[in-house]
Structure 1
Amino acid sequence: MNTRQRQTLKWWCVALAAWSLAGTACDNVAAGDVQVTMSGGDGTQRGLPDTLFQDGWSVQFTRYLVSLGDVTLTSASGEVRSSDRHVLVDIQKGDIPLVDLNGVPAGRWDVGFRVSPPEARTELADGQVSAEDLAMMRERGFSYFVEGHATKQNEPVLRFRMGFPVNALMNNCINGADGTQGIVVPEGSVARPEVTIHAEHMFYDRLGTHRGVQLRFEAIAATAGADNVITPEGLSTQQLTDLRDRDGNELRDAQGQPVIYQPGAFDVRTLQAFIAQSVVDQAHLNGGGVCTVVK
């Protein structure tokens, strides 16, 4: 064996040793599991009491359907762990297991997911949502569909039934539990992040912020028909610049001041469009953790 051959052999031995060590190191990377659930919390399950509203109404949901999936974790180095599971669930009935991701390297991960209408791949939660519900939402392009009723002292019970055609990626979510970015996957243990749906967004009186909002229902109530049912078609007759009560008069609050909805930078003209925009970012991480909306 000449000198050049000996040098080549030595190089291959060093390379093989390095690869062997690298493989061993990769095999020994600390990992944990991630179990994602979805919840509507007390808002969807127990309702919103009159103490939350500026105008004395309270709201109870009987159904709160959500179409959601494509949970994705992204590490600081750009590594991605994801699930293509897409489900249609009724979070009014309780918390729902969403996705399990096992063997995820321990450390911090960004969290993302997509709220989008049902597709051919969409699964139904057992015993919660019917195939007819799925077909209806898929046909009409709804990601959210809600039913319920609202009550106020000395007022008739009002019922509502409406859907919202949201298709948005919720990304770079802040952790509502501690205010940090994403989640931390613990070594040899389980992280349990929750996608939390905030039902109160439907009743916000301003867009583009979660600060300083008030919950209102009177403008919505004013659109109810003779049958005391509130519909999207009725909501679309309520102009933001000319809000009216059920008698057709200017809508005023308990202090006699005109009721004002603030659309911010969004070009919305009707109450229906306002509410449809407000629910776009109602999905959060671990309670109140806000996500970046990417359409």
Structure 2
Amino acid sequence: MRTVLFPLLLVCACTAVTERTYEASIYGEEFIEEGIPAAIFSDDWSVTFDKFLVSVGDITVADQPLGEEDEPYRIFDLAQASDGAGFPILEGTIAAEDPGAAYVIGPSSGAVAGNASEEDVALMKDGGYSIYVQGAATRGGETLTFIWGFSTRTLYTYCALAGATDVQLTIHADHLFYDDLFAENPRVSFDLIAASDDGDGELTADDLRAVDITTEERYQVGHLTNITDLWSFVEQLTATLGHINGEGHCSAVRTD
């Protein structure tokens, strides 16, 4: 009797990952376009922004770049009205299953205009800024102005898209006024910033640098003990501005 050996057929039940088009945009929400009302602040100040310039780039989905490999950074003025839609950045087709997104807010000498004016693009590039805010704070009959430029570079990763193809980089301006770097529920406050005024009604970086926060009960810095003045504190807060699709969170790391 002869034994016949039949070859085993290996069958692969593979499922192809569908390509999807992801659309990236950036939005500062009502707090930037319309202002942060006094009800949000713990000390009854309100804040409005004339400019809120942001330099953004290196946008990826599933570690794959949206658009071309060498897409330039783009500069947006989030204080411009968008009717709640935000401003488009770019789009790309990517095959991935349940991907996350990543992006950078940082200075770039090769940045181009998103919706910002050419003058504002030049201001950002010449100053080496990633974020530039110009606005005013008001309480009662008192108004103080501020113009702050930041050169921080923050990498936002592990931004969960939860199946969405919208990649909205959402910027939370109220975080600039937090009174703690690591508390779960920090207060939005302005009194200490206002107190830095040297009498001219304009709150400058130098005014904030002159404020020693090491004796403050609030304005805690956790392990970042090198942060000892109010300007360095607010500068660190810039690394908390970025979110994804509204309230979605990312992992944020300063790389400057």
Fold match (TM-score > 0.5):
yes
Question: Structure 1: where are the runs of 5+ without partners?
Answer: 1-24, 174-180, 186-190, 244-258
Alpha-carbon shift at residue 260 of structure 1 (Å): 1.9
How do 1:240-279 residues align onto structure 2 when only pairs under 5 Å count?
240-242=213-215, 260-266=218-224, 267-279=226-238
8 A contact 1:195–1:284 mirrored in 2: yes
Alpha-carbon shift at residue 137 of structure 1 (Å): 2.0
Question: Which contiguous aligned blocks of 4+ residues in structure 1 show a shift greater than 4 angstroms?
Answer: none
Question: Structure 2: where are the runs of 5+ without partners?
Answer: 1-13
Q: How many Å separate the matches in 2 of 1:182 and 1:286?
A: 8
Verify: 1:119 aligned to 2:109, yes or no.
yes
8 A contact 2:212–2:230 mirrored in 1: yes
How do 1:41-56 residues align onto structure 2 when only pairs under 5 Å count?
41-56=29-44
TM-score (norm 2): 0.84
TM-score (norm 1): 0.74
Which residue of structure 1 aligns with residue 244 of structure 2?
A: 285
What is the RMSD of the two structures over their aligned residues, measured on CA atoms? Answer: 2.2
Verify: 1:232 aligned to 2:205, yes or no.
yes
How many residues get paired? Answer: 235
SS at match of 1:63: strand
1:168 aligns with one of 150, 154, 164: 154
SS at match of 1:260: coil
How do 1:1-295 residues align onto structure 2 when only pairs under 5 Å count?
30-74=18-62, 80-83=64-67, 84-93=71-80, 94=82, 95-102=86-93, 104-105=94-95, 107-120=97-110, 122-126=111-115, 129-154=116-141, 156-173=142-159, 181-184=160-163, 191-209=165-183, 211-242=184-215, 260-266=218-224, 267-294=226-253, 295=255
SS at match of 1:234: helix
Identity, % of aligned positions: 28
Which amino acid letter does the alignment assign opposite residue 262 of structure 1? Q
Q: How many Å separate the matches in 1 of 2:95 and 2:240?
A: 29
8 A contact 2:55–2:75 mirrored in 1: yes
SS at match of 1:56: coil
Offset from partner CA, 1:97-144 (integer Å, 9 cap, x none): 011112x22631110011111322x12124xx2333223322322100
Alpha-carbon shift at residue 288 of structure 1 (Å): 1.8
8 A contact 1:85–1:99 mirrored in 2: no
8 A contact 1:111–1:183 mirrored in 2: no
Which residue of structure 2 aligns with residue 7 of structure 1?
A: none
Q: Which has the higher helix share?
A: 1
Q: How many Å separate the matches in 1 of 2:173 and 2:46?
A: 13
8 A contact 1:208–1:265 mirrored in 2: no
8 A contact 1:281–1:291 mirrored in 2: no
SS at match of 2:48: strand
